[in-house]
Amino acid sequence: MASSSPRTVEEIVQDYTARRSALVRALTYDVDDFYSQCDPDKENLCLYGHPNEAWEVALPAEEVPPELPEPALGINFARDGMNRKDWLSLVAVHSDCWLLSVAFYFGARLNRNERIRLFSMINDLPTVFEVVTRRNPVKDKPTVESGSKSRNSTKRSIDGQPRSNRKLADESYEEDEEEQGDTFCGTCGGGYNSDEFWIGCDNCERWYHGKCVKITPAKAEMIKFYKCPSCQKKLRQ
């Protein structure tokens, strides 16, 4: 195992969460781009999620054995032979299997109690499959980018009541509440729920549960321009 590989339960969960966020984004926010890259006329392809939260469609590594378990090969073959929603769900299932394989590959040296804790922490998050299959089948891309007309004026939401940077949103929010339901947290992938506090990144315009990015309603009121953890990390690099 490489020296840079995650070794503790917390490090492995952090690696798992980052890879999972990348895969969720590929199958939700970036679904059109992902779909086009899986052209059946191209080579046999895999979907990768990387620790930097980037996703990639590529051929598997050539080295044998590979450094890490490889994702399912040939996800592009069935792209035009299945209903799009069903195909995405199938890719999601393969992605969940790969994520667990990688996590427990890193966790091979953990003791029994640590492995149990690792599985418990992973199990607290919805699977990629659960995120993808909750999506509205009528729309191809019900994402943050296209999901809400009130997004630009409602960067924050407190107990289901969205706020702009300066004032409460107008009545148009009620008309768009159903469309807000197609929004997914950029960290855990959970769907929009008006009973929870959400915050929108002013840089990348993704939405997050406040609890996932450790932002409380009171803290949000003090923030003029919010950058999510991913954007902050990119700015530091």
How far is it, in rounded angstroms, from Cα 180 to Cα 10? Answer: 32
23, 57, 115, 205 from 62: Cα distances, Å: 22, 15, 30, 37
What's the pLDDT at 161? Answer: 43
**Sheet hosting strand 156-158, strand order edge to edge:** 161-163, 156-158, 198-200, 207-209
pLDDT at 135 over 70: no
Confidence of residue 200 (pLDDT cuts 50, 70, 90): confident
What's the pLDDT at 46? Answer: 94
Q: Map 183-227 to HEC letters.
A: CECCCCCCECCCCCCEEECCCCCCEEECCCCCCCHHHHHCCCCCC
What mean pLDDT comes out for the span 18-29?
Answer: 94
How far is it, in rounded angstroms, from Cα 110 to Cα 104? Answer: 9
DSSP 107: G
- Superfamily designation of domain 198-235: Zinc/RING finger domain, C3HC4 (zinc finger) (3.30.40.10)
More confident residue, 66 or 136: 66
- Domains of the chain by residue range: 9-133, 198-235
DSSP 3-state assignment of 147?
A: helix
pLDDT at 137 over 80: no
pLDDT at 101 over 90: yes
* pTM score, whole prediction: 0.60
